[in-house]
Chains A and B, each alone.
Chain A
Amino acid sequence: MGRKLLLDKAHIEGIRHYDVYRREGGYRSVEKALKTMSPDAVTEEVKKSGLRGRGGAGFPTGMKWGFLAKPEGVPRYLVVNADESEPGTFKDRYLMEFIPHLLIEGMITASYALGSNTSYIYIRGEYWWVKEILEVAVQEARNAGWLGKNILGSGFDCDIFVQPGAGAYICGEETALIESLEGKRGNPRIKPPFPAVKGLWGCPTVVNNVETIAAVVPIVNDGGDEYAKLGIGKSTGTKLISACGNISKPGVYEIEMNISVEEFLYSDEYCGGIANGKKLKACIPGGSSVPILPANLLLKTAKGETRMMTYESLSDGGFATGSMMGSGGFIAMDEDQCVVKHTYTLARFYRHESCGQCSPCREGTGWMEKILLNIENGKGKMSDIDLLWDIQRKIEGNTICPLGDAAAWPVAAAIRHFRDEFEWHVTNPADALKRNYGLANYEKPLEIAVAAP
């Protein structure tokens, strides 16, 4: 049984409200930080903890906080990114729905460390009921004196505002989020300048994921060193994984980052195996943007090592044979799923969510979607597969924000690992409309290349 730091108390009756949360030891980290620690000491603990951004990129949080410019007389802002819209990722919603005070507690502590007197939660518009939960929680915290002027007599002022978006995936990109928060069209900004220098209203800003900020609470309570003891190597602490797809027990799991993918997928504590006794065909381990892996590469790396649920192990082998931890949206697909259809679905999503600001993403995502639909409908040509490859190659890395990459990677990985399924769709168009390609060889153990002596 792995240790839980974020969700261990999430299911206590009434924890959504302040009284129960406080009774269970809530807001200790704020007391500790404001009464006994300097802001820099809090940042130092976060650095020591090795906490990495939980939104997808995995950038060390302490380092990000360290980059924040601190010019005299200019306000600084903390913005929590709750615009969780990645297909397959729903961990932040779970956290905010069940234990909203954990996020608010983490925000007060983080705001203290960063010197932010006004902090924002930018929440996805479709999470309207979560926004209401958060607003109740913020008001409760304000009434109890955890927000407002001179908190705990420390002289530190802080207030939190919840701002809903209007339902755009692109507003999860930090600069687009800032634009949207300022009331403008949510187009990503061109970087540099980075938000740490010029962010919200042109002031230094830190944008962190909900889970990242929530993890600040156990880090301050127990100390960064204690947190760093969990997990393996640079993947410290616990991670929320939202598991979905053809598994027996879909849901949000908090894992310590020291278990293998196989254990996570097949043990009864977590996903409980593939549903209905079927076999695993493919899996996207970190949300729709990260490369899809066939079953044989998911459980073991190309070197034959057991793949672990850590940032490093999931990306072992680079994009050729690996994937990414991403935002922790674990999507498992059984033998009855069609990779072509699945890739088309994702391409459609990215076409719909592209902001349309820069040409490769605006035009390329729509083109890929149309070609994939043709292949899926049995109208594809063999040359279409190479054309798809060429389009994704010309989108990737050439766009303003990572949405272009996120749209290109799933297509690239699907062709890289499932090219024979694409070809089967082209050569057997009539069959492709009636049945699926099936499991094929995607589960068979791979031959491990042995280095020449």
Chain B
Amino acid sequence: MADEKKLFTVTIDNITVEVEPGTSILQAARKIGGDVAPPAMCYYTKLKDSGGKCRTCLVEVAAGSAADPRPMPKLVASCRTNVMDGMVVKNITSDRVIDARNGVVEFLLINHPLDCPICDQAGECHLQDLSYEHGKGASRYEFKRRTFDKHDLGPYIQLHMTRCILCYRCVYTADQVTNERKHGILMRGDHSEIATYIEKSLENDFIGNVIDVCPVGALTDRTFRFKNRVWFTKPVDAHCNCDKCSGEVQLWMRGDEVLRVTARKDEWGEVKDTSKGETGWICNTCRFERKNASDWIIEGPSQINRHSVISQGHYENAVKPNETIKKVMGGRDPKLLMNIKDVSEVNQVELSEIKGAATSESFKQLKKGN
């Protein structure tokens, strides 16, 4: 029994949970799950030293520990504060926390372009979720928003600095997952930006993972840009034999087309561990080059949170409906008045075959090619 580790008891929003010493408040709250888990925009479990920056995960510590039950005077960042035995934490039960969190969301949004209708991240954007929960219908900000030019960071990644919330996740990813970081933060304050200084391209076998860790649409996949909304695509788990990475990925398909390849993510939007227990970062070849269904061994539909907009496309246990018109028409075929394919070029092309972003020009060219 002496070997058994002593667990810390921590109470979060009146729910008590036992965790190992050294666990952060955020991880303890995630163990409870649901609303109790504070939102996290910059913290990423798999990235060392991340967190503490966005301030959305602030919580109130009503009692520091059983030994020293004094409350902490300031709200603390739950992602970077470790639990103590007997700690009492208030998250959604604290008005102070909700007030501060609403404030942080307002700050994050004052310079955000709110261009969700044309943003590839919409539907899987953490800032979108956060704004639904804590944002207001109207902004009190009356000034011009901060803008930046778009930059292509090489052939695969595009940077929309205007959307960035400076979570630093991509910086840590480049530091810890790739073997050389070529981008970083330039300038300071509200004019700081993610940049490569002189527009260099980011080239590294694993650099594509910065797209997965980006909580907003600041870093997007150029091979998927404008090809589809995520909620129209079907996420399926698939794998391949890859000599660079585990090859365990999530394919985002429409019909039999593979529109996008990403790492598999858990319920907190973070990259899952592979079946071998390693972090499931995937290589650029898997992410950007293997866009044929035949490249992959498909395992089955991915589990998607039923509250997510992505689960709007119900496809599990889907049964193709029978053709009913012929039946009610007494055996006659319906008369086709207008074929959509004659009207719209969009429906004639295979989206995955388009090189780069899908624009009206690329559709026209494809049509000519046909």
Cβ A185 vs Cβ B107 within 8 A:
no
Complex Cα gap A362–B188 (Å) = 9
Task: Specify which chain A residues have a CB less than 8 angstroms from the CB of B140 in the assembled complex.
Answer: 387
- B110 close to A363 (CB less than 8 A): yes
Contacts of A399 in B (CB 8 A): 55
Segment from B73-81, B285-293, B305-313, B340-348 that makes contact with A: B73-81
Which of B107, B184, B185, B187 has a CB less than 8 Å from the CB of A359? Answer: B107
CB pair A362 B166 closer than 8 Å = yes
- CB of B189 within 8 Å of the partner chain: yes
- Are B75 and A351 closer than 8 Å at their CB atoms? no
Q: Which of B155-171 contact A (CB under 8 A)?
A: 165-166, 168
1/0 contact string of A100-118 vs chain B (CB within 8 Å): 0000000000000000000
0/1 string, A341-385, CB within 8 A of B gives 1 = 000000000011111111110111111001000000000000000
Chain A neighbourhood of B190, CB < 8 A: 351, 354, 356, 362-363, 365-366
Given that A360-B104, A367-B141 are contacting pairs, would A397 and B74 also be in contact in the complex, using a CB cutoff of 8 Å?
yes
A360-B188 CB under 8 A given contacts A387-B140, A398-B58, A400-B52: no
**Inside 8 A of A357's CB, which chain B residues have their CB?**
53, 166, 168
Instruction: Name the interface residues of A183-205: CB closer than 8 Å to any CB of B.
Output: 185, 190
Could you tell me the distance in whole angstroms from the C-beta of A276 to the nearest C-beta in chain B? 37
Asked whether B100 is an interface residue with its Cβ less than 8 Å from the other chain, the reply is: yes
**Does any Cβ of B come within 8 Å of A17's Cβ?**
no
Task: Please indicate the chain B residues that have their CB under 8 angstroms from the CB of A400 in the complex.
Answer: 52-53, 77
CA distance A78 to B108 in the complex (A): 38
Q: How far is the CA of A364 from the CA of B189 in the complex (A)?
A: 10
Contact between B103 and A398 (Cβ–Cβ < 8 Å)?
yes
Name the residue among B51, B103, B168, B189 with the largest chain A CB count within 10 angstroms.
Answer: B189
Distance of B121 from chain A, by nearest CB (Å): 18
B244 to chain A, nearest CB (A): 30
Interface contact B54-A358, CB-CB below 8 Å: yes
Contact status B141-A358, CB under 8 Å: no
Given A356-B189, A365-B189, CB of A397 within 8 Å of CB of B75? yes
From known contacts A353-B189, A359-B104, A398-B103, infer whether A367 and B110 are also in contact, taking CB-CB under 8 Å: yes
Which parts of B46-90 form the interface with A (CB within 8 Å)?
51-56, 58, 74-75, 77, 80
Contact with B along A436-451 (1 / 0, CB 8 A): 0000000000000000
The answer, yes or no, to whether A15 is at the interface (CB within 8 Å) is no
Answer whether residue B111 sits at the interface, using C-beta atoms and an 8 A cutoff. yes
Q: When each residue 187-207 of chain B gets 1 if its CB lies under 8 Å from chain A and 0 otherwise, what string results? A: 111111000000000000000
A178–B74 alpha-carbon span in the complex (Å): 24
- Candidates A168, A356, A365, A398; contact of B75 at CB < 8 Å: A398
A352 and B189 contacting across the interface, CB-CB below 8 Å? yes
Q: B315 in the interface, Cβ–Cβ < 8 Å?
A: no
Closest-CB distance, B61 to chain A (whole angstroms): 13
A-B contact count (CB 8 A): 88
Contacts of A170 in B (CB 8 A): 188
Q: How far is the CA of A296 from the CA of B289 in the complex (A)?
A: 73
A364: which B residues are within 8 A, CB to CB? 107
Residue of B nearest to A357 (CB): B53
Tell me the smallest distance from the CB of B47 to a CB of chain A, in Å.
14
Q: Which residues of A contact B188 (CB under 8 A)?
A: 168, 170, 353-356
Contact (A359, B189) CB under 8 Å given A370-B143, A398-B103: no
User: Is there an interface contact between B54 and A359, defined as CB atoms closer than 8 Å?
Assistant: yes
Contact partner of A190 (CB less than 8 A), chosen from B52, B75, B107, B187, is B52
Are B53 and A363 within 8 A (Cβ)? no
- Interface membership of A394, Cβ < 8 A: yes
- Say whether A358 contacts B55, CB under 8 Å: yes
Q: Which residue of A lies closest to B49 (CB)?
A: A190
CA–CA, A336 and B27, complex, Å: 56
B79 to chain A: closest residue by CB = A190
* B189 partner, pick from A366, A387, A393, beta carbons under 8 A: A366
Chain A 276-301 interface mask (CB, 8 Å, partner B; 1/0): 00000000000000000000000000
Whether the pair B103, A362 counts as a contact (CB closer than 8 A) is no
- Chain B 35-52 per-residue mask, 1 if CB under 8 angstroms from chain A, else 0: 000000000000000011
Tell me, in angstroms, the Cα distance from A365 to B140 when the chains sit together: 15
Nearest CB to that of B41 among chain A residues?
A359
Contacts of B108 in A (CB 8 A): 359, 363
Whether A363 contacts B75 by the Cβ 8 Å rule is no
Are the C-beta atoms of B74 and A363 separated by less than 8 Å?
Answer: no
Q: Give the CA-CA distance A185 to B185 in the complex, in Å.
A: 9
Q: Count chain B CB atoms within 10 A of each CB in A351, A358, A387, A397 and give the residue with the most.
A: A358
B77 near A356 (CB under 8 angstroms)? no
Which residue of chain A lies nearest to B106 when distances are taken between CB atoms in the complex?
A: A394
With A356-B185, A359-B107, A366-B190 as known contacts, state yes or no: A398 contacts B100, CB within 8 Å. Answer: yes
**Are B189 and A362 in touch, CB under 8 angstroms?**
yes
B99: chain A residues within 8 A (beta carbon): 394
A190/B103 contact (C-beta < 8 A), A355-B189, A356-B190, A367-B110 known = no
Q: Given A362-B190, A387-B140, are A190 and B80 also a contact pair (CB < 8 Å)?
A: yes
0 or 1 for each of A399-413: is its CB under 8 Å from B? (1 = yes): 110000000000000
Q: Which residue of A lies closest to B108 (CB)?
A: A359
- Please, how many angstroms separate the alpha-carbon atoms of A190 and B184 in the complex? 19
B-chain residues with CB within 8 Å of residue A387 when the two chains form the complex:
140
From 108 to 125 in chain B, residues with beta carbon under 8 angstroms from any chain A beta carbon are: 108, 110-111
- B73 — nearest CB in chain A belongs to which residue? A397
Which residue of chain A has the shortest Cβ distance to B109 in the bound complex?
A: A363
B77 lies within 8 A of A190 (CB): yes
User: Shortest CB–CB separation between residue A259 and chain B, in angstroms?
Assistant: 32
Contacts of B111 in A (CB 8 A): 363
B59 to chain A, nearest CB (A): 12
Interface hub of B80, B140, B165 (most chain A Cβ within 10 A): B140
Q: Chain A contacts of B100 at CB under 8 A?
A: 394, 398
Minimum CB distance partner of B107 in chain A: A363
CB-defined contacts of A363 to chain B, threshold 8 Å: 107-108, 110-111, 190
Nearest A residue to B193, CB-CB: A356
Name 25 A/B residue pairs within 8 A (Cβ), A-sorted. Answer: A168-B188, A170-B188, A185-B184, A190-B80, A351-B189, A352-B189, A353-B188, A353-B189, A359-B53, A359-B104, A362-B107, A362-B166, A362-B192, A363-B108, A365-B189, A367-B110, A367-B141, A367-B143, A394-B103, A394-B106, A394-B107, A398-B55, A398-B75, A400-B52, A400-B77
Q: Which residues from chain A sit less than 8 Å from chain B, CB to CB? A: 168, 170, 185, 190, 351-360, 362-367, 370, 387, 393-394, 397-400
- Besides the known contacts A190-B51, A190-B52, A359-B56, 15 further A-B residue pairs in the complex with CB atoms under 8 A apart: A353-B189, A355-B192, A356-B188, A356-B189, A356-B191, A356-B192, A357-B168, A359-B166, A360-B104, A364-B107, A365-B190, A393-B103, A394-B106, A398-B103, A400-B53
10 cross-chain pairs, A with B, having the tightest CB-CB distances, nearest first: A394-B103, A356-B192, A363-B107, A354-B189, A190-B52, A366-B190, A356-B189, A370-B143, A397-B74, A359-B107
Chain B residues with a Cβ under 8 A of chain A = 51-56, 58, 74-75, 77, 80, 99-100, 103-104, 106-108, 110-111, 140-141, 143, 165-166, 168, 184-185, 187-192
